[in-house]
């Protein structure tokens, strides 16, 4: 399968057309024509090597949806013509305790889980290329069924933004009568607000952008607090049971600690860079936990898709062409998107100039998927 994608071969370069080959699906695998791909803040971090772990070439994209074009021998979950999605993982050992519990993202096998892109943890050590591309191949165990009620373009962000925020809510038992705080109302946060409401919680949005107040209230938030407003923060001290912190960069967590009830949790889902001068005294005396949470397993991702279908939860999206991705990255850095870009991949398939100009990647990668 000759595939055209957008990626970069160094941190300082803009994304541009690249082409490579994905092999046809083997037993247990399906091939997908990618129709849409969401743009996640981690795509920007990875393309710019902000986490100092990028493997080049880097073709981002882990909110991938499309139509099944071929199935390998033994596939039972999908048939040609079905709609399917691929989230942040494409493989795991499928044998360890974490995989058995449906937490493939925490796979403890020899190479851990295989990420959808920049995942050089396959047994043969080669890199993986993501959904900013025209075609994809994946094991059927790691493909999601898209409910009929959800359009493909709206399904894409649920596969990362939806599951990443749903997972800590499920793990910590968020339910009616509890108060959920959502820190950072961007691509992840705006999904967290809607999911929290569907689970019956009172939802408090915590933002440093008070200009978003009207948009946040339209999402269903019961209250919007400007974190820089000292009086408002003091008035809401010790009122929150769980905060899902979606802020994707290093920041001061201490103001959020003061909002927490005793025996509550702050779940960090977006910041891989750490916190300075964390107020452990408040953590100790109020029994407040600061924990991390990474995406979610395949079953939980399917569960949040069904939840969004049932409760009419949809990401607010702005559709872009593939050749607009560099501008989208700039706008994302400037927090100038409400609330998620989604790429119309037909724009890449129809772009003959991109196919002609695409640089061939001389890489022995045989697609994202390997045997168990």
Domains defined along the chain, listed by start: 2-150+315-360 (3.90.180.10), 161-292 (3.40.50.720)
Residue 273: its pLDDT value, please?
87
Which residues, in sequence order, are CB contacts of 287 under 8 Å at separation 6+? 262, 263, 264
User: How far apart are the C-alpha atoms of 53 and 360, rounded to whole Å?
Assistant: 23
User: How far apart are the C-alpha atoms of 164 and 142, rounded to whole Å?
Assistant: 16
Residue 124: its pLDDT value, please?
63
The low-confidence residues of the chain, meaning pLDDT below 70, are 121-125, 362-372
User: Global pTM?
Assistant: 0.93
Residue 125: its pLDDT value, please?
65
Which residues, in sequence order, are CB contacts of 316 under 8 Å at separation 6+? 190, 219, 338, 339, 340
Residue 127: its pLDDT value, please?
85
Which residues, in sequence order, are CB contacts of 41 under 8 Å at separation 6+? 186, 187, 188, 248, 270, 332
Residue 369: its pLDDT value, please?
38
Residue-wise DSSP of 178-206: -EEEEE--STTHHHHHHHHHHTT-EEEEE
Residue 139: its pLDDT value, please?
94
Dump pLDDT digits (tens) for 181-198: 999 999 999 999 999 999
Residue 363: its pLDDT value, please?
52
User: How far apart are the C-alpha atoms of 153 and 122, rounded to whole Å?
Assistant: 29
């Amino acid at each position: 399968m000759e595939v055209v994608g957008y990626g970069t071969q160094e941190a300082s370069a803009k994304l541009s057309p690249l082409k490579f080959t994905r092999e046809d699906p083997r037993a247990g695998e399906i091939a997908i024509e990618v129709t849409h791909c969401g743009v996640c803040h981690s795509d920007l971090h990875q393309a710019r090597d902000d986490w100092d772990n990028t493997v080049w070439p880097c073709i981002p994209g882990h909110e991938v949806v499309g139509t099944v074009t071929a199935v390998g021998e033994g596939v039972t979950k999908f048939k040609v013509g079905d709609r399917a999605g691929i989230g942040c993982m494409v493989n795991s050992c499928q044998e360890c305790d974490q995989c058995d519990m449906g937490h493939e993202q925490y796979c403890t096998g020899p190479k851990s889980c295989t990420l959808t892109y920049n995942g050089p943890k396959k047994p043969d050590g080669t890199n993986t290329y993501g959904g900013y591309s025209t075609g994809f191949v994946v094991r059927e165990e790691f493909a999601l069924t898209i409910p009929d009620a959800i359009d493909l373009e709206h399904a894409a962000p649920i596969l990362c933004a939806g599951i990443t925020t749903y997972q800590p809510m499920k793990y910590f038992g968020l339910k009616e009568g509890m108060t959920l705080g959502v820190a950072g109302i961007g691509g992840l946060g705006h999904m967290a607000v809607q999911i929290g409401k569907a689970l019956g919680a009172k939802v408090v949005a915590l933002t440093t952008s008070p200009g978003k107040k009207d948009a946040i209230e339209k999402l269903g938030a019961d209250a919007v607090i400007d974190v820089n407003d000292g009086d408002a923060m003091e008035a809401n001290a010790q009122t929150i049971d769980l905060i899902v912190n979606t802020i994707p960069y290093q920041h001061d967590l201490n103001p959020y600690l003061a909002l927490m009830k005793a025996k509550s949790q702050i779940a960090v889902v977006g910041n891989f860079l750490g916190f300075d001068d964390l107020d452990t005294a408040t953590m100790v005396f109020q029994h407040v936990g600061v924990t991390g949470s990474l995406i979610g397993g395949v079953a939980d991702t399917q569960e949040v898709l069904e939840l969004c279908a049932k409760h009419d939860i949809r990401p607010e999206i702005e559709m872009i062409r593939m050749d607009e991705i560099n501008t989208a990255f700039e706008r994302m850095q400037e927090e100038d998107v409400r609330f998620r870009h989604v790429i119309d991949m037909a724009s890449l398939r129809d772009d003959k100039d991109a196919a002609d100009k695409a640089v061939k990647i001389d890489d022995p990668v045989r697609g994202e998927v390997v045997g168990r």
